[in-house]
Structure 1
Amino acid sequence: MSAVDTHPTRTPDAPAPVSRATSPLHDTALVFVRELRPVVRDPFSVIFGIIQPLFFLGLFTPLLVASSGQSTADTLQWFVPGVIVMLALFGTSTTGANLQFEMQTGSHERTLVSPLSRSSLMIGRALKEIVPTIVQALVIVGVAVPFGFRPDLAGLVVGLVVLSVFCVGLGALSYALALAVKENQWAFWGVQQTLLFPLMLLAGILLPLQGAPGWLEALSKVNPLTYVVDAERALIEGSWNGDAVAGAAAAAITCVVGLVVGARAMRASS
């Protein structure tokens, strides 16, 4: 009686399983393209997101001109950088709502079981916020130029880089909030709206804070958005001073904190 070979027969020509080698940079790029593709196919969200800042620009500028006594051009030099920061604030602070939608449809759970690292899922999603922000900012600049707004081109480019860094951190924090409240949309929007408008008003986007009560000025000093707004105004004016440096530092700190918090939230999500 011959011995039976219980081992499976190997076909010499059968290819061996190949494990896909990935890197964090490669994974992040994949997530970035995946998140950006719907925006390119349907840019309505980018167009819709710019409507409110355009209303502020068109309706609030005459009030500032009348109250300050300055020319329209001088008023726009001060106000347009704040509007650019405002649209970035509106856009990136609401990105967590997209993640909530993915959690409701089950898309988020499917990405968690993919071979992509969870940190890359967070960073790629946060990086996606840069593209709509830059497009919207350029539209705002294009609308304001015929009315006397004259940005320094080099300062505008650097200012957009600083703002993009800030947007990455803010977008990551928005995703972390969505992961914390999961599918409770009322909790996400309650926290987002509660924080959004105080940050915006304390940053001096709509009105200057010079001469404000001491407690308001103190709160403004601990608001990182204040330094980003001051940096945008200085850079777009063409001034490479301490405000620009402080704003870049505030944007970098916000970016690092946001990515760390967001990456930890992604690794802990289930």
Structure 2
Amino acid sequence: MATMTITSGTAPAKRRVGVLAGLEHTATLAWRNLVQIKHNPMELMDLSIQPVMFLLLFTYVFGGQMSGSTHAYLNFALAGIIVQNGLFATLSTAVGLNNDIQKGVFDRLRSLPIARSAPLAGRVAADLVKQLWSMLLMLGIGVALGFRPHSAVGVLGAAALMLVFALAMSWLSVLIGMLASSPEKVQMMAFVVMFPLTFSSSAFVSPSTMPGWMQAWVKVNPVTSLVDAMRALLDGGPLAASLTHTLLWAAALAAVFFPLALRAYQRRT
């Protein structure tokens, strides 16, 4: 008669990481991404020199033509230049994630007892800190050139709004980073998205100077709402409508791209 051997016990359950531990892992990996600047000073130069170059070039090359004086154009364009730099800076999230995947960093992290979301959240958090640095630097240079913020509260509000919108746009960048096969393709795909959004807005010129068909697009472009809100916070002016539209756009972008980015991240890693 055949006998059946029965083994007792069950397979060990996978270790679950608590919320506090997950936050600690995220903070650790965010710090890892920030500390890399010490070993790669060129990254700090990218965060500092490129935004300042944009600010100086737009002010002193286009200022006289656009507004009659560099000072007047600085007051108009500073918010737009900050927004442009902030949105293009979200591309570093996509490039960094794609580069880590290509180098096998995520394979090593996956073998550790850490929250699976920590590498992604850590990268996004670190890039937001870098964005804050670039924005404050540009504001400081703007003040040195003659710009005078409307109020300290407005500056704080502008920084917070820029970070909120950048966070929402970061999920689009994450999605691109997960779908692209190489960092070079990430930059190509993201550039095609970010370039039209920023330049077909109220960032650098008044929409009233554009053709009618483009004005219709500019009015619904989320970057226009963000720039108008940033301009109102930094330089004064009507705020309620542009701020409301910006926050609604940020919520809509996050609602659409966060789940898509998270799914692509889980499939890729």
What does 1:90-109 correspond to in 2, within 5 Å?
A: 90-109=88-107
2:186 corresponding residue in structure 1? 188
Question: Could you tell which deviates more after superposition, 77-86 or 199-208?
Answer: 199-208
Change in CA separation of 1:154 and 1:84 when aligned onto 2, cut-off 3 Å: same
The Cα of 1:92 is off from its aligned counterpart by 1.3
Alignment of 1:100-249 (within 5 A): 100-151=98-149, 152-182=151-181, 184-239=182-237, 240-249=239-248
- Is the Cα–Cα contact under 8 Å of residues 201 and 223 in structure 2 kept in the other structure? yes
Task: Please say if 1:86 is aligned against 2:56.
Answer: no
**Which letter does structure 2 place at the counterpart of 1:205?**
A
Q: Offset of 1:20 from its aligned partner?
A: 7.5
Residues 249, 153 of structure 1: alpha-carbon distance in 2 compared, 3 angstrom cutoff: farther
The 3-state SS of whatever aligns with 1:129 is helix
- Judge conservation of contact 1:129–1:167 (CA < 8 Å) in 2: no
Alpha-carbon separation, structure 1, partners of 2:112 and 2:201: 41
CA deviation vs aligned residue, 1:168-207 (integer Å, no higher than 9, x gap): 222232222121123x334222212212211111123222
Displacement, 1:40?
Answer: 5.3
Q: CA deviation at 1:84?
A: 0.9
> SS of the counterpart of 1:94?
helix
What per-residue deviation string (whole Å, max 9, x for no partner) do you get for residues 121-177 of structure 1? Answer: 322321221111111111111112133201121111111111111222222322221
What is the TM-score when the length of structure 2 is the normalising length? 0.82
Once the two structures are aligned, what percentage of the paired residues are identical?
28
TM-score where L is the length of structure 1: 0.82
Asked if 1 retains the 8 angstrom alpha-carbon contact of 2:222 and 2:249, the reply is yes
Distance 1:21 1:51, change over 3 A: closer
Q: Tell me which of 23, 26, 29 is aligned to 2:27.
A: 29
Unpaired stretches in structure 2, ≥5 consecutive residues = 1-14
User: What is the total number of aligned residue pairs between the two structures?
Assistant: 251
Contact 2:51–2:134, Cα closer than 8 Å, also in 1: no
Aligned CA distance change for structure 1 residues 222 and 241 (closer, same or farther; 3 Å): closer
1:25 offset after TM fit, Å? 3.1
Look up the match of 1:54: 52
Larger Rg: 1
| Greater alpha carbon shift after TM alignment, 57-66 vs 159-168 | 57-66
Note closer, same or farther for the CA distance 1:79–1:118 as it changes in structure 2 (3 Å cut).
same
* RMSD of equivalent CA atoms: 2.4
Tell whether the 8 Å contact from 2:175 to 2:260 is kept in structure 1 after alignment.
yes
1:1-80 to 2 correspondence within 5 Å?
21-23=17-19, 24-39=22-37, 42-80=40-78
CA distance in 1 between counterparts of 2:257 and 2:29 reads 18
Superposed displacement of residue 223, structure 1 = 2.4
- Work out the CA distance in 2 between the residues paired with 1:214 and 1:254: 26
C-alpha distance 36-212 of structure 1, shift in aligned 2 (>3 A): same
